[in-house]
């Protein structure tokens, strides 16, 4: 399979991996902010800002899990397409030899 044929799916996988890294950074940043907010001035779980951060962390975790699942599915699809193309090329080669 030529690079041109695989480039769209590989670039999409790379895009999703980049997004995944960005989401992981955002989750860690929010965890730090949450810990700082809880440590300062008696801010507890009832504080609305802390609740917002917890909700954002959960949303980002869900988005990260979704991106991981999508990347996995894209890799599987790419592998299936490669295998199909390789089978077709073998069949074509076998037909030409006859």
Residue pair 1/79 in contact (Cβ under 8 Å)? The answer is no
| 46-50, 54-58, 61-65: least confident range | 46-50
User: Minimal CA–CA distance to 77: which of 18, 6, 23?
Assistant: 6
What is the distance between the alpha carbons of residues 87 and 85, in angstroms, rounded to a whole number?
5
Kindly state the percentage of the chain with pLDDT values over 70: 84
Cβ neighbours of residue 33 closer than 8 Å, sequence gap 6 or more: 53
Mean per-residue pLDDT for 12-35?
A: 86
Q: Is 49 exposed, middle or buried (0-12, 13-18, 19+ CB in 10 A)?
A: exposed
């Amino acid at each position: 399979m030529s690079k041109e044929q695989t480039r769209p799916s590989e670039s999409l996988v790379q895009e999703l991996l980049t997004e995944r890294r960005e989401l992981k950074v955002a989750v860690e940043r929010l965890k730090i902010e949450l810990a700082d907010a809880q440590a300062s001035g008696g801010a507890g779980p009832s504080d609305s800002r802390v609740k917002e951060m917890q909700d954002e962390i959960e949303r980002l975790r869900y988005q990260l899990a979704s991106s991981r699942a999508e990347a996995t599915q894209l890799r599987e699809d790419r592998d299936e397409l490669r295998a199909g193309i390789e089978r077709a090329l073998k069949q074509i080669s076998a037909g030409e030899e006859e």
